[in-house]
Amino acid sequence: MAIKIEMLRCFSTVVQCGNLAEAANQLSRTQSAVSMTLKQLETQLGQRLFESDRKRSLTPLGEQVYELSLEQLRLFDSTVNAMQSAAAFPQGLLRIASVPSVSSVLFSSVIQTLTQNQPGLKVELQDADTQHVIKALIQGQADFGIVSGYHTLNGIRSILLFEDQFGLICAAKHPLATQDQQPTIADIAAAPLVGNMLCKSIESAEFQTALSQAMVTVHNTLSLIGMIKTQNWVSVLPEKVAQISPVELTFRKVVSIEDKRPVYALIRERSPNLRYAEELAEIISKTNWR
């Protein structure tokens, strides 16, 4: 008997629930059926996956199989969803993933133009950081993406859209927003500075030293904005991040920081909706939105 996807789903659910009863409930199966499926998987692998029959602790192999199972389940479910979408939307479904600092200022107008050009086309847009956008494209969960930085990826075409200046972002009433002189890296470090993943690409050695000494790093853009608006923190980010904020923020250039964030569109070459992705890229290139 070969290992089947439902074996992996059953095993992963038991790991997540920590017991057979709750897992059986989640899977709408009997406990005996779940137990039998686990035994079949262990038989195929030739080793135990749990340390005991209570299913609370995994063996070293179980830990590896669990991580691999989650990855395969995500890929399988994504493939099934893509099939169902293709059947449900015969005119096509264009799935877009983008960093939020671009999607919020770009897609309202360009998606309107695309859907007017292509009646019946369905569009899904999700905000995500660069790594999640890339992952969605590689795994076939997105057809078109917009990311920070240049990335060489097999089967994915890159198109430079624009470059976005890095600088200080702070609350409008923060002292660094209102001082006459251009803020320095020392000013930012003393503010104090909140780190983020984007500013790790800045080349200034002085800034990277200041960044390494930051006591707080925030990965989520909205959470970062929430900290900055309190006037207790500042950060260094691309200018367009200030434009997406639901509160008033100030952007200022910083002495010794000339870096810009390159922003690229990515097109998955094997997408079933390649022609729509290419049309979207063409619309963006003709749009005066910068």
pLDDT in tens, 144-185: 999 998 898 889 999 998 899 999 999 999 999 999 999 999
Higher per-residue pLDDT: 52 or 86: 52
Residue 91 has pLDDT above 90, yes or no: no
pLDDT score of 9: 93
Q: What is 164-260's CATH number?
A: 3.40.190.290
| Helices of type H across the chain | 5-17, 20-27, 31-45, 60-88, 100-117, 130-138, 175-178, 185-190, 205-212, 221-228, 240-243, 274-285
Cis amide leading into 192 (omega within 30): yes
Average pLDDT of the segment spanning 13-30: 89
**pLDDT tens-place string over residues 129-149:** 898 999 889 888 899 999 998
pLDDT score of 290: 55
pLDDT score of 89: 64
* Whole-number Å distance between alpha carbons of 186 and 195: 14
Average pLDDT of the segment spanning 2-11: 91
Q: How far is CA 154 from the centre of its chain?
A: 19
The correct answer on CATH 3.40.190.10 for the domain covering 89-162+262-285 is yes
- Give bridge partners of residue 156 from the DSSP assignment: 268
- CATH class as words, domain 5-86: mainly alpha
| 164-260 matches 89-162+262-285 in CATH topology | yes
